[in-house]
Chains A and B, each alone.
Chain A
Amino acid sequence: MDGAFRKINIDLLEEDVLLPSDLYDPDPRGVEGVLADAKNRSGEVRGLVSKGDIASALNVILTDCPYGEDVDEAKDITTSALLLILNSTRSTDISNLVKGLSGDHQDRLMAYLYKGMANLGEKSEISGSVLLSWHEKLTEVAGVGCIVRVMTDRRIV
Protein backbone atom coordinates (compact mmCIF):
# COMPACT_ATOMS: atom_id res chain seq x y z
CA MET A 1 0.00 0.00 0.00
CA ASP A 2 1.19 3.49 -0.79
CA GLY A 3 2.35 5.27 2.33
CA ALA A 4 3.19 8.64 0.80
CA PHE A 5 0.25 10.31 2.48
CA ARG A 6 1.94 9.75 5.83
CA LYS A 7 4.67 12.21 4.88
CA ILE A 8 2.30 15.11 4.30
CA ASN A 9 2.81 17.68 7.03
CA ILE A 10 -0.81 18.21 7.92
CA ASP A 11 0.02 20.95 10.40
CA LEU A 12 1.08 23.21 7.51
CA LEU A 13 -2.49 23.17 6.24
CA GLU A 14 -3.74 24.50 9.54
CA GLU A 15 -3.77 28.23 10.24
CA ASP A 16 -2.79 27.92 13.87
CA VAL A 17 0.70 26.43 13.40
CA LEU A 18 2.73 25.76 16.52
CA LEU A 19 6.33 26.94 16.10
CA PRO A 20 9.24 25.66 18.21
CA SER A 21 9.70 29.18 19.59
CA ASP A 22 6.11 29.16 20.89
CA LEU A 23 7.11 26.49 23.35
CA TYR A 24 9.45 28.57 25.50
CA ASP A 25 9.47 32.09 26.91
CA PRO A 26 11.80 34.51 25.07
CA ASP A 27 14.84 35.83 26.93
CA PRO A 28 13.79 39.13 28.59
CA ARG A 29 17.28 40.64 28.01
CA GLY A 30 16.88 40.78 24.23
CA VAL A 31 19.53 39.84 21.65
CA GLU A 32 21.90 42.73 22.49
CA GLY A 33 21.57 42.25 26.23
CA VAL A 34 22.30 38.54 25.95
CA LEU A 35 25.45 39.17 23.93
CA ALA A 36 26.76 41.84 26.33
CA ASP A 37 26.01 39.60 29.28
CA ALA A 38 27.77 36.63 27.65
CA LYS A 39 30.89 38.76 26.98
CA ASN A 40 30.98 39.99 30.58
CA ARG A 41 30.58 36.53 32.01
CA SER A 42 33.19 35.09 29.67
CA GLY A 43 35.72 37.68 30.85
CA GLU A 44 34.86 37.03 34.47
CA VAL A 45 35.28 33.27 33.94
CA ARG A 46 38.77 33.72 32.46
CA GLY A 47 39.79 35.71 35.53
CA LEU A 48 38.38 33.14 37.94
CA VAL A 49 39.95 30.20 36.10
CA SER A 50 43.40 31.84 36.18
CA LYS A 51 42.96 32.22 39.95
CA GLY A 52 41.96 28.56 40.13
CA ASP A 53 38.45 29.26 41.43
CA ILE A 54 36.66 26.72 39.24
CA ALA A 55 33.52 26.48 41.39
CA SER A 56 32.75 30.21 41.08
CA ALA A 57 33.58 30.16 37.39
CA LEU A 58 31.05 27.37 36.81
CA ASN A 59 28.38 29.25 38.75
CA VAL A 60 28.98 32.40 36.72
CA ILE A 61 28.83 30.77 33.31
CA LEU A 62 25.84 28.52 34.08
CA THR A 63 23.68 31.43 35.25
CA ASP A 64 21.34 32.89 32.61
CA CYS A 65 22.85 30.99 29.68
CA PRO A 66 21.92 32.29 26.21
CA TYR A 67 19.23 30.19 24.51
CA GLY A 68 16.86 30.39 21.60
CA GLU A 69 17.26 31.90 18.15
CA ASP A 70 19.44 34.78 16.86
CA VAL A 71 22.00 34.62 19.67
CA ASP A 72 24.62 32.39 18.03
CA GLU A 73 27.54 34.66 18.90
CA ALA A 74 26.60 34.75 22.60
CA LYS A 75 26.17 30.98 22.51
CA ASP A 76 29.67 30.53 21.01
CA ILE A 77 31.28 32.80 23.62
CA THR A 78 29.56 31.00 26.48
CA THR A 79 30.39 27.55 25.11
CA SER A 80 34.09 28.48 24.73
CA ALA A 81 34.23 29.83 28.29
CA LEU A 82 32.58 26.70 29.61
CA LEU A 83 34.96 24.43 27.68
CA LEU A 84 37.84 26.38 29.17
CA ILE A 85 36.53 25.58 32.65
CA LEU A 86 36.00 21.91 31.82
CA ASN A 87 39.50 21.56 30.33
CA SER A 88 41.27 23.28 33.23
CA THR A 89 39.71 21.14 35.97
CA ARG A 90 41.60 18.23 37.53
CA SER A 91 39.60 15.03 37.06
CA THR A 92 39.69 14.31 40.81
CA ASP A 93 37.87 17.59 41.53
CA ILE A 94 34.96 17.04 39.14
CA SER A 95 32.82 15.02 41.54
CA ASN A 96 32.80 17.66 44.28
CA LEU A 97 32.29 20.52 41.82
CA VAL A 98 29.24 18.81 40.34
CA LYS A 99 27.78 18.13 43.78
CA GLY A 100 28.12 21.83 44.64
CA LEU A 101 25.95 22.96 41.72
CA SER A 102 22.24 23.76 42.02
CA GLY A 103 19.75 21.55 40.20
CA ASP A 104 19.23 24.11 37.48
CA HIS A 105 22.98 24.52 36.92
CA GLN A 106 23.43 20.75 36.74
CA ASP A 107 20.84 20.58 33.95
CA ARG A 108 22.54 23.43 32.08
CA LEU A 109 25.95 21.80 32.44
CA MET A 110 24.58 18.55 31.03
CA ALA A 111 23.18 20.49 28.07
CA TYR A 112 26.65 21.90 27.32
CA LEU A 113 28.26 18.48 27.66
CA TYR A 114 25.90 17.14 25.01
CA LYS A 115 26.48 20.20 22.85
CA GLY A 116 30.21 19.53 23.10
CA MET A 117 29.76 15.90 22.14
CA ALA A 118 27.60 16.91 19.16
CA ASN A 119 30.37 19.22 17.90
CA LEU A 120 33.24 16.84 18.56
CA GLY A 121 36.10 17.39 16.11
CA GLU A 122 34.90 20.83 15.02
CA LYS A 123 36.89 22.74 17.59
CA SER A 124 40.32 21.91 18.98
CA GLU A 125 39.20 22.84 22.49
CA ILE A 126 36.67 20.01 22.64
CA SER A 127 38.11 16.87 24.15
CA GLY A 128 35.93 13.80 24.11
CA SER A 129 37.57 12.20 27.12
CA VAL A 130 37.12 15.34 29.24
CA LEU A 131 33.45 15.55 28.30
CA LEU A 132 32.92 11.89 29.08
CA SER A 133 34.48 12.08 32.53
CA TRP A 134 32.31 15.13 33.39
CA HIS A 135 29.29 13.31 32.00
CA GLU A 136 30.00 10.25 34.14
CA LYS A 137 30.36 12.26 37.35
CA LEU A 138 27.34 14.44 36.60
CA THR A 139 25.13 11.41 35.89
CA GLU A 140 26.21 9.85 39.19
CA VAL A 141 24.95 12.93 41.02
CA ALA A 142 21.98 14.18 38.99
CA GLY A 143 20.85 10.82 37.57
CA VAL A 144 19.24 9.96 34.26
CA GLY A 145 16.55 12.53 35.06
CA CYS A 146 19.10 15.23 34.26
CA ILE A 147 19.67 13.73 30.79
CA VAL A 148 15.92 13.58 30.13
CA ARG A 149 15.61 17.25 31.09
CA VAL A 150 18.26 18.18 28.52
CA MET A 151 16.45 16.21 25.85
CA THR A 152 13.08 17.82 26.51
CA ASP A 153 14.30 21.37 26.99
CA ARG A 154 13.43 23.63 24.05
CA ARG A 155 15.77 26.35 25.28
CA ILE A 156 18.69 25.02 23.22
CA VAL A 157 22.03 26.35 24.48
Chain B
Amino acid sequence: MSVAPEVHQLSIGPLTAAAFSPDRSQLATCANNNDVLIYNKTQDGWDLSATLSEHDKLITAISWAPRTNRIVTCSQDRNAYVWTREPSGEWKPALVLLRINRAATCVKWSPNEDKFAVGSGARTIAVCSFDEENNWWVSKHLKKPLRSTVLSIDWHPNNVLIAAGSADAKARVFSAFIKGIDAKPQPSAWGEKLPFNTVCGEFNSPNGGWVHDVAFSPSGDALAFASHDASITVVYPAGPGEPPAAIQTIRSISLPYVSLSFLTETSLVAAGHDCQPVLFQGGADGWVMTKSLDDPNATKSLTPQATGAARAEGSVGRLNTVAFNRFKQADTRGQSSSSSSGGSGGGLSGAPGQTATGELKTVHQNTITHVDAYEWKNDGAVGKIFTIGKDGRLAVWNV
Protein backbone atom coordinates (compact mmCIF):
# COMPACT_ATOMS: atom_id res chain seq x y z
CA MET B 1 0.00 0.00 0.00
CA SER B 2 1.45 3.30 -0.93
CA VAL B 3 1.81 6.06 1.62
CA ALA B 4 1.24 9.75 1.04
CA PRO B 5 4.04 11.43 -0.95
CA GLU B 6 6.50 13.81 0.62
CA VAL B 7 5.87 17.22 -0.92
CA HIS B 8 8.12 20.27 -0.77
CA GLN B 9 7.39 23.65 -2.28
CA LEU B 10 10.85 24.79 -3.39
CA SER B 11 9.98 27.68 -5.65
CA ILE B 12 7.03 29.79 -6.77
CA GLY B 13 7.89 29.28 -10.42
CA PRO B 14 8.73 26.17 -12.43
CA LEU B 15 11.56 23.79 -11.59
CA THR B 16 13.29 23.03 -14.89
CA ALA B 17 15.78 20.40 -13.72
CA ALA B 18 16.75 18.49 -10.62
CA ALA B 19 19.26 15.91 -9.45
CA PHE B 20 20.00 14.39 -6.06
CA SER B 21 23.39 13.83 -4.47
CA PRO B 22 24.52 10.19 -4.19
CA ASP B 23 23.33 9.89 -0.56
CA ARG B 24 20.11 11.89 -1.23
CA SER B 25 21.05 14.49 1.39
CA GLN B 26 21.47 17.23 -1.19
CA LEU B 27 19.46 18.39 -4.15
CA ALA B 28 20.58 20.45 -7.14
CA THR B 29 17.76 22.20 -8.93
CA CYS B 30 17.00 25.19 -11.10
CA ALA B 31 14.10 27.55 -10.48
CA ASN B 32 13.57 28.59 -14.10
CA ASN B 33 16.63 30.86 -14.29
CA ASN B 34 20.41 30.72 -14.80
CA ASP B 35 21.37 29.65 -11.27
CA VAL B 36 21.78 26.15 -9.90
CA LEU B 37 20.46 25.92 -6.34
CA ILE B 38 21.94 23.35 -3.97
CA TYR B 39 19.66 22.41 -1.09
CA ASN B 40 20.57 20.47 2.05
CA LYS B 41 18.05 18.12 3.58
CA THR B 42 16.89 19.10 7.06
CA GLN B 43 14.39 17.67 9.51
CA ASP B 44 11.39 19.40 7.98
CA GLY B 45 12.38 20.19 4.43
CA TRP B 46 15.18 21.57 2.31
CA ASP B 47 17.50 24.51 3.10
CA LEU B 48 19.36 26.42 0.42
CA SER B 49 23.08 25.90 0.94
CA ALA B 50 24.76 27.12 -2.23
CA THR B 51 24.04 28.87 -5.49
CA LEU B 52 26.13 27.98 -8.52
CA SER B 53 26.18 30.96 -10.86
CA GLU B 54 28.12 30.57 -14.05
CA HIS B 55 25.51 30.14 -16.77
CA ASP B 56 24.04 33.15 -18.60
CA LYS B 57 20.71 31.65 -19.57
CA LEU B 58 18.11 29.17 -18.38
CA ILE B 59 19.53 25.89 -17.11
CA THR B 60 17.89 23.04 -18.98
CA ALA B 61 19.32 19.97 -17.28
CA ILE B 62 21.41 18.81 -14.32
CA SER B 63 23.06 15.44 -13.80
CA TRP B 64 24.79 14.37 -10.58
CA ALA B 65 27.26 11.47 -10.83
CA PRO B 66 26.52 9.00 -8.03
CA ARG B 67 30.07 7.68 -7.50
CA THR B 68 32.39 10.53 -8.45
CA ASN B 69 30.06 13.15 -6.87
CA ARG B 70 30.41 15.61 -9.77
CA ILE B 71 27.60 17.73 -11.15
CA VAL B 72 27.23 18.60 -14.82
CA THR B 73 24.82 21.34 -15.87
CA CYS B 74 23.84 22.57 -19.31
CA SER B 75 22.01 25.65 -20.38
CA GLN B 76 20.43 27.59 -23.20
CA ASP B 77 23.61 29.67 -23.29
CA ARG B 78 25.15 26.71 -25.27
CA ASN B 79 27.53 25.84 -22.47
CA ALA B 80 27.96 23.03 -20.02
CA TYR B 81 29.94 23.10 -16.77
CA VAL B 82 31.29 20.25 -14.70
CA TRP B 83 31.22 21.16 -11.01
CA THR B 84 33.61 19.46 -8.58
CA ARG B 85 33.46 19.87 -4.84
CA GLU B 86 36.57 21.37 -3.25
CA PRO B 87 37.71 20.18 0.19
CA SER B 88 36.48 23.55 1.47
CA GLY B 89 32.96 22.61 0.40
CA GLU B 90 32.81 25.04 -2.52
CA TRP B 91 31.79 23.92 -5.97
CA LYS B 92 34.33 24.71 -8.70
CA PRO B 93 33.16 24.95 -12.32
CA ALA B 94 35.04 23.70 -15.38
CA LEU B 95 33.82 24.80 -18.79
CA VAL B 96 33.14 22.11 -21.36
CA LEU B 97 34.01 22.81 -24.99
CA LEU B 98 30.69 21.83 -26.53
CA ARG B 99 31.10 23.63 -29.89
CA ILE B 100 27.35 23.88 -30.51
CA ASN B 101 25.55 26.90 -31.95
CA ARG B 102 22.13 26.37 -30.34
CA ALA B 103 20.87 25.81 -26.81
CA ALA B 104 21.88 22.70 -24.89
CA THR B 105 18.74 20.86 -23.89
CA CYS B 106 19.70 17.80 -21.87
CA VAL B 107 22.71 16.24 -20.20
CA LYS B 108 23.48 12.89 -18.58
CA TRP B 109 26.54 11.19 -17.06
CA SER B 110 27.40 7.81 -18.53
CA PRO B 111 27.15 4.80 -16.17
CA ASN B 112 30.95 4.71 -15.65
CA GLU B 113 30.96 8.49 -15.10
CA ASP B 114 33.93 8.97 -17.42
CA LYS B 115 31.79 10.55 -20.17
CA PHE B 116 28.63 12.56 -20.46
CA ALA B 117 26.41 13.52 -23.36
CA VAL B 118 24.73 16.83 -24.08
CA GLY B 119 21.80 17.10 -26.48
CA SER B 120 21.20 20.39 -28.24
CA GLY B 121 19.06 22.41 -30.60
CA ALA B 122 21.88 22.27 -33.14
CA ARG B 123 20.78 18.75 -34.23
CA THR B 124 23.78 17.48 -32.38
CA ILE B 125 24.69 15.35 -29.41
CA ALA B 126 28.03 16.31 -27.90
CA VAL B 127 29.67 13.31 -26.29
CA CYS B 128 32.15 14.71 -23.80
CA SER B 129 35.21 13.13 -22.24
CA PHE B 130 38.12 14.45 -20.17
CA ASP B 131 41.32 15.29 -21.96
CA GLU B 132 44.09 14.68 -19.39
CA GLU B 133 46.77 16.35 -21.50
CA ASN B 134 45.03 19.70 -21.71
CA ASN B 135 43.09 19.34 -18.46
CA TRP B 136 39.69 20.14 -19.97
CA TRP B 137 36.52 18.46 -21.21
CA VAL B 138 36.33 17.95 -24.95
CA SER B 139 33.43 16.79 -27.08
CA LYS B 140 32.82 14.66 -30.13
CA HIS B 141 29.64 15.26 -32.13
CA LEU B 142 26.94 12.82 -33.11
CA LYS B 143 25.13 14.53 -36.00
CA LYS B 144 23.71 12.13 -38.54
CA PRO B 145 20.87 11.39 -39.05
CA LEU B 146 19.42 13.86 -36.53
CA ARG B 147 16.99 16.22 -38.28
CA SER B 148 15.92 18.37 -35.36
CA THR B 149 16.50 19.38 -31.75
CA VAL B 150 17.57 16.60 -29.40
CA LEU B 151 15.22 16.73 -26.41
CA SER B 152 16.43 13.83 -24.29
CA ILE B 153 19.22 11.29 -23.94
CA ASP B 154 19.83 8.16 -21.94
CA TRP B 155 22.84 5.84 -21.57
CA HIS B 156 22.86 2.11 -22.06
CA PRO B 157 24.43 0.29 -19.06
CA ASN B 158 27.40 -0.74 -21.28
CA ASN B 159 28.64 2.89 -21.26
CA VAL B 160 28.82 2.94 -25.07
CA LEU B 161 25.31 3.11 -26.51
CA ILE B 162 23.21 6.21 -26.17
CA ALA B 163 19.52 6.78 -26.91
CA ALA B 164 18.25 10.16 -28.08
CA GLY B 165 14.72 11.49 -28.43
CA SER B 166 14.34 14.25 -30.95
CA ALA B 167 11.83 16.83 -32.17
CA ASP B 168 11.78 15.16 -35.59
CA ALA B 169 9.48 12.56 -33.98
CA LYS B 170 12.11 9.85 -33.79
CA ALA B 171 13.98 8.03 -31.06
CA ARG B 172 17.41 6.74 -32.05
CA VAL B 173 20.11 4.57 -30.57
CA PHE B 174 23.71 5.54 -31.36
CA SER B 175 27.13 4.31 -30.48
CA ALA B 176 29.10 6.88 -28.49
CA PHE B 177 32.27 4.79 -28.37
CA ILE B 178 35.31 6.89 -27.48
CA LYS B 179 38.72 5.42 -28.19
CA GLY B 180 41.00 5.36 -25.19
CA ILE B 181 38.13 5.49 -22.70
CA ASP B 182 35.84 2.64 -23.61
CA ALA B 183 36.84 -0.98 -23.78
CA LYS B 184 35.37 -2.90 -26.71
CA PRO B 185 31.74 -3.48 -25.69
CA GLN B 186 30.18 -6.93 -25.49
CA PRO B 187 27.84 -7.64 -28.41
CA SER B 188 24.24 -6.94 -27.42
CA ALA B 189 20.85 -7.01 -29.11
CA TRP B 190 21.65 -3.53 -30.42
CA GLY B 191 24.78 -4.48 -32.35
CA GLU B 192 28.18 -6.11 -32.42
CA LYS B 193 30.61 -3.70 -34.05
CA LEU B 194 30.08 -0.25 -32.65
CA PRO B 195 32.37 2.49 -34.00
CA PHE B 196 31.42 6.06 -33.05
CA ASN B 197 28.15 7.30 -34.63
CA THR B 198 26.84 3.84 -35.61
CA VAL B 199 23.05 4.11 -35.75
CA CYS B 200 21.75 1.00 -34.01
CA GLY B 201 18.08 1.81 -34.28
CA GLU B 202 15.64 4.47 -35.42
CA PHE B 203 12.02 4.40 -34.27
CA ASN B 204 9.10 6.66 -35.16
CA SER B 205 6.63 7.93 -32.62
CA PRO B 206 3.22 6.46 -33.56
CA ASN B 207 1.45 9.70 -34.46
CA GLY B 208 4.28 12.06 -35.26
CA GLY B 209 4.70 13.57 -31.81
CA TRP B 210 8.15 14.87 -30.91
CA VAL B 211 9.94 12.59 -28.48
CA HIS B 212 10.09 14.12 -24.98
CA ASP B 213 12.04 11.46 -23.16
CA VAL B 214 13.87 8.19 -23.75
CA ALA B 215 14.94 5.51 -21.29
CA PHE B 216 16.78 2.21 -21.48
CA SER B 217 15.51 -0.62 -19.30
CA PRO B 218 17.89 -1.65 -16.47
CA SER B 219 19.38 -4.43 -18.65
CA GLY B 220 19.55 -2.15 -21.67
CA ASP B 221 17.68 -4.68 -23.79
CA ALA B 222 14.57 -2.51 -24.19
CA LEU B 223 14.09 1.15 -25.01
CA ALA B 224 11.04 3.20 -23.99
CA PHE B 225 10.14 6.66 -25.19
CA ALA B 226 7.34 9.12 -24.46
CA SER B 227 6.19 11.38 -27.25
CA HIS B 228 3.91 14.38 -27.56
CA ASP B 229 1.19 12.33 -29.29
CA ALA B 230 0.23 11.16 -25.78
CA SER B 231 1.83 7.77 -26.19
CA ILE B 232 4.59 5.61 -24.82
CA THR B 233 6.46 3.19 -27.07
CA VAL B 234 8.64 0.33 -25.87
CA VAL B 235 11.03 -1.26 -28.39
CA TYR B 236 12.67 -4.68 -28.08
CA PRO B 237 15.54 -5.12 -30.56
CA ALA B 238 16.09 -8.49 -32.22
CA GLY B 239 19.69 -8.10 -33.28
CA PRO B 240 21.96 -6.07 -35.53
CA GLY B 241 20.46 -5.28 -38.92
CA GLU B 242 17.16 -6.96 -38.11
CA PRO B 243 13.80 -5.31 -37.49
CA PRO B 244 12.88 -5.08 -33.80
CA ALA B 245 11.44 -8.20 -32.16
CA ALA B 246 8.56 -6.16 -30.79
CA ILE B 247 7.35 -2.57 -30.71
CA GLN B 248 4.65 -1.97 -28.11
CA THR B 249 2.68 1.27 -28.09
CA ILE B 250 0.44 2.53 -25.32
CA ARG B 251 -1.96 5.28 -26.35
CA SER B 252 -2.88 7.39 -23.37
CA ILE B 253 -6.33 8.86 -22.88
CA SER B 254 -4.77 11.76 -21.01
CA LEU B 255 -2.36 14.52 -21.96
CA PRO B 256 1.19 13.68 -23.12
CA TYR B 257 3.89 12.42 -20.76
CA VAL B 258 7.14 14.39 -20.82
CA SER B 259 9.35 12.21 -18.65
CA LEU B 260 9.66 8.50 -17.97
CA SER B 261 11.87 6.12 -16.07
CA PHE B 262 12.08 2.34 -15.73
CA LEU B 263 11.38 0.88 -12.26
CA THR B 264 12.21 -2.74 -13.13
CA GLU B 265 12.71 -4.61 -16.39
CA THR B 266 8.91 -4.92 -16.70
CA SER B 267 7.57 -1.70 -15.21
CA LEU B 268 8.03 2.01 -15.72
CA VAL B 269 6.70 5.33 -14.46
CA ALA B 270 5.72 8.25 -16.69
CA ALA B 271 4.56 11.76 -15.85
CA GLY B 272 3.86 14.96 -17.67
CA HIS B 273 1.08 17.31 -18.65
CA ASP B 274 -1.64 15.50 -16.70
CA CYS B 275 0.22 16.34 -13.46
CA GLN B 276 0.33 12.82 -12.00
CA PRO B 277 2.87 9.98 -12.11
CA VAL B 278 1.42 6.90 -13.78
CA LEU B 279 2.72 3.32 -13.57
CA PHE B 280 2.90 0.95 -16.54
CA GLN B 281 3.68 -2.73 -16.65
CA GLY B 282 4.43 -5.17 -19.45
CA GLY B 283 6.96 -6.90 -21.65
CA ALA B 284 7.67 -7.75 -25.25
CA ASP B 285 4.10 -9.05 -25.69
CA GLY B 286 2.37 -5.87 -24.54
CA TRP B 287 2.24 -3.05 -22.04
CA VAL B 288 -0.68 -1.72 -19.98
CA MET B 289 -1.21 1.17 -17.62
CA THR B 290 -1.57 -0.23 -14.11
CA LYS B 291 -2.38 2.78 -11.92
CA SER B 292 -1.85 6.43 -11.24
CA LEU B 293 0.08 7.23 -8.07
CA ASP B 294 -2.09 10.31 -7.64
CA ASP B 295 -5.51 9.65 -9.13
CA PRO B 296 -7.59 12.82 -8.78
CA ASN B 297 -10.85 10.90 -9.10
CA ALA B 298 -10.09 8.35 -6.40
CA THR B 299 -11.34 8.95 -2.88
CA LYS B 300 -8.19 9.26 -0.89
CA SER B 301 -6.97 10.59 2.38
CA LEU B 302 -3.80 12.18 1.13
CA THR B 303 -4.09 15.89 0.77
CA PRO B 304 -1.85 17.92 -1.48
CA GLN B 305 -0.38 19.75 1.49
CA ALA B 306 3.01 21.20 0.77
CA THR B 307 5.60 21.28 3.51
CA GLY B 308 8.86 23.17 3.73
CA ALA B 309 8.95 26.83 2.84
CA ALA B 310 5.33 27.88 2.69
CA ARG B 311 4.34 30.04 -0.23
CA ALA B 312 1.30 32.13 -1.00
CA GLU B 313 -1.62 30.45 -2.71
CA GLY B 314 -2.14 30.99 -6.40
CA SER B 315 1.49 31.19 -7.41
CA VAL B 316 2.46 31.86 -11.01
CA GLY B 317 3.22 28.23 -11.74
CA ARG B 318 -0.36 27.16 -11.22
CA LEU B 319 -2.40 25.88 -14.10
CA ASN B 320 -5.71 27.09 -12.70
CA THR B 321 -5.72 29.89 -10.24
CA VAL B 322 -8.48 31.24 -8.07
CA ALA B 323 -8.37 34.47 -9.99
CA PHE B 324 -8.68 32.64 -13.30
CA ASN B 325 -11.81 30.85 -12.12
CA ARG B 326 -13.31 34.03 -10.73
CA PHE B 327 -12.95 35.77 -14.08
CA LYS B 328 -14.32 32.71 -15.87
CA GLN B 329 -17.40 32.73 -13.67
CA ALA B 330 -17.89 36.41 -14.23
CA ASP B 331 -17.48 35.97 -17.94
CA THR B 332 -19.70 32.96 -18.60
CA ARG B 333 -22.38 33.32 -15.94
CA GLY B 334 -22.23 36.89 -14.81
CA GLN B 335 -21.36 35.77 -11.30
CA SER B 336 -18.93 37.77 -9.28
CA SER B 337 -18.12 35.07 -6.73
CA SER B 338 -16.35 31.81 -7.33
CA SER B 339 -17.85 30.17 -4.25
CA SER B 340 -21.00 28.78 -5.87
CA SER B 341 -19.62 26.22 -8.29
CA GLY B 342 -15.89 26.36 -8.61
CA GLY B 343 -15.19 22.68 -9.11
CA SER B 344 -15.62 21.11 -12.49
CA GLY B 345 -14.83 17.73 -10.91
CA GLY B 346 -12.72 16.12 -13.58
CA GLY B 347 -15.56 15.46 -15.99
CA LEU B 348 -13.45 15.22 -19.09
CA SER B 349 -11.49 12.02 -19.24
CA GLY B 350 -7.83 12.61 -18.69
CA ALA B 351 -8.11 16.11 -17.31
CA PRO B 352 -7.41 16.33 -13.59
CA GLY B 353 -10.36 17.60 -11.56
CA GLN B 354 -10.33 20.83 -9.67
CA THR B 355 -11.37 21.74 -6.18
CA ALA B 356 -13.63 24.69 -5.36
CA THR B 357 -10.63 26.97 -4.87
CA GLY B 358 -9.28 26.27 -8.33
CA GLU B 359 -6.54 23.92 -7.16
CA LEU B 360 -6.05 20.70 -9.05
CA LYS B 361 -6.86 17.59 -7.06
CA THR B 362 -3.41 16.22 -7.83
CA VAL B 363 -0.31 16.92 -5.72
CA HIS B 364 1.38 18.71 -8.60
CA GLN B 365 -0.51 21.79 -9.67
CA ASN B 366 1.03 21.93 -13.12
CA THR B 367 3.01 19.85 -15.61
CA ILE B 368 5.54 17.45 -14.09
CA THR B 369 8.86 18.26 -15.78
CA HIS B 370 10.97 15.35 -14.58
CA VAL B 371 10.51 11.97 -12.95
CA ASP B 372 13.41 9.77 -11.85
CA ALA B 373 14.41 7.06 -9.39
CA TYR B 374 14.99 8.22 -5.81
CA GLU B 375 15.62 5.04 -3.85
CA TRP B 376 16.21 1.38 -4.71
CA LYS B 377 15.07 -1.74 -2.87
CA ASN B 378 17.43 -4.60 -2.00
CA ASP B 379 16.48 -6.53 -5.13
CA GLY B 380 17.46 -3.64 -7.39
CA ALA B 381 13.91 -2.49 -8.16
CA VAL B 382 13.09 1.18 -7.68
CA GLY B 383 11.28 1.74 -4.37
CA LYS B 384 10.79 5.49 -4.44
CA ILE B 385 10.66 8.05 -7.23
CA PHE B 386 10.76 11.82 -7.23
CA THR B 387 8.98 14.31 -9.44
CA ILE B 388 9.46 18.03 -10.00
CA GLY B 389 6.94 20.27 -11.65
CA LYS B 390 6.19 23.65 -13.18
CA ASP B 391 4.39 24.43 -9.91
CA GLY B 392 7.76 24.57 -8.11
CA ARG B 393 7.06 21.44 -6.10
CA LEU B 394 9.26 18.45 -5.42
CA ALA B 395 7.47 15.24 -4.47
CA VAL B 396 8.86 11.87 -3.40
CA TRP B 397 6.55 8.91 -4.01
CA ASN B 398 6.46 5.27 -2.97
CA VAL B 399 5.87 2.94 -5.89
Which residues from chain A sit less than 8 Å from chain B, CB to CB?
16, 18, 22-25, 103, 107, 139-140, 142-146, 148-150, 152-155
* Chain B minimum-CB-distance residue to A155: B208
A139→B255 CA distance, assembly (Å): 12
Of the listed stretches B106-114, B190-198, B347-355, name the one at the interface; the rest are far from the partner chain: B347-355
Are A148 and B251 also in contact (CB < 8 A) when A139-B348, A140-B349, A153-B207 are?
no
A145→B348 CA distance, assembly (Å): 11
A148 touches B229 (CB 8 A): yes
Within 8 A of A (CB), among B235-288: 251-256
**Selected contact of A143 from candidates B209, B227, B350, CB within 8 Å:** B350
CB of A106, distance to nearest CB on chain B (Å): 8
**Selected contact of B255 from candidates A18, A140, A142, A148, CB within 8 Å:** A148
Are A139 and B207 also in contact (CB < 8 A) when A145-B252, A149-B251 are?
no
As a 0/1 sequence over residues 190 to 226 of chain B, the CB contacts with chain A under 8 angstroms (1 = contact) are: 0000000000000010111110000000000000000
A148 touches B230 (CB 8 A): yes
Interface residue B168 (Cβ < 8 Å from any Cβ of A): yes
Interface residue B11 (Cβ < 8 Å from any Cβ of A): no
Interface residue B85 (Cβ < 8 Å from any Cβ of A): no
Q: List the 7 closest A-B pairs by CB distance, nearest first.
A: A143-B253, A145-B230, A152-B209, A143-B350, A149-B207, A143-B349, A145-B252
A16→B122 CA distance, assembly (Å): 12
CB of B320, distance to nearest CB on chain A (Å): 15
A23 touches B230 (CB 8 A): no
Are A18 and B252 also in contact (CB < 8 A) when A152-B208, A152-B228 are?
no
B228 touches A148 (CB 8 A): yes
Report chain B residues within 8 Å CB of A149: 206-207, 209, 229-231, 251
Interface residue B169 (Cβ < 8 Å from any Cβ of A): yes
- Can you give 23 A-B contacts (C-beta < 8 A)? A16-B123, A18-B147, A18-B148, A107-B251, A139-B348, A139-B349, A142-B251, A143-B252, A143-B254, A143-B349, A144-B230, A144-B348, A144-B350, A145-B231, A145-B254, A146-B251, A146-B253, A148-B256, A149-B231, A152-B169, A152-B207, A152-B208, A154-B169
* Chain B minimum-CB-distance residue to A156: B208
A25→B350 CA distance, assembly (Å): 30
